[in-house]
Amino acid sequence: MTDARWRRKAKDLLFDYTAKKRRLRQAEQDVIYGTTRERDHRYRRGGVRNPTLVKAELLDSPELNQMRREIAAVEGLLQELQTERRIDQKQRTLLELVYIRNSHCLYGAAALLEISERTAKRWNTRALENLARRMGWLD
């Protein structure tokens, strides 16, 4: 994957993290608590199917599994930065301000955290590379 493509995908993944987490939780609740089709179209005569099995198949759909994988990658990255070291805490705060809360640009977050713009760029690049490796976009 080219440099620009994995960077853009990693940034989009970080920007969409909270919305994706909310959509996944809503989709799971819709499947679990909502009503499902009671008839299976594989049977010619419309045999009744086990509704629990239908819900389990819906919860194991490829779309939901992909969302779970993406959420797990971002949470792993944030968990890795949740240590006692002050530098890790600042890196996590930088990611939260720029991508998750979407309240600052990279340079504004750097000024707020009292770090140089170059350091913020370096931390951002490192986090994006880490996320791309977790998703399998980089070797």
Residue with the larger pLDDT of the pair 48 and 112: 112
pLDDT at 136 over 70: yes
For the chain, the average pLDDT equals 88
For residues 96-118, average pLDDT: 96
Does the pLDDT at position 106 exceed 70? Answer: yes
Going from N- to C-terminal start, the domains of the chain cover 3-135
Residues 6 or more apart from 137 whose CB is under 8 A from it?
A: 1, 6, 9, 10
* Residues contacting 88, CB < 8 A, separation 6+: 80, 81, 82
Torsion angles phi and psi, residue 39, rounded to 5? -110, 140
pTM of the predicted model as reported, rounded to 2 decimal places: 0.83
Q: Hey, what are 106's tokens?
A: 């990279």
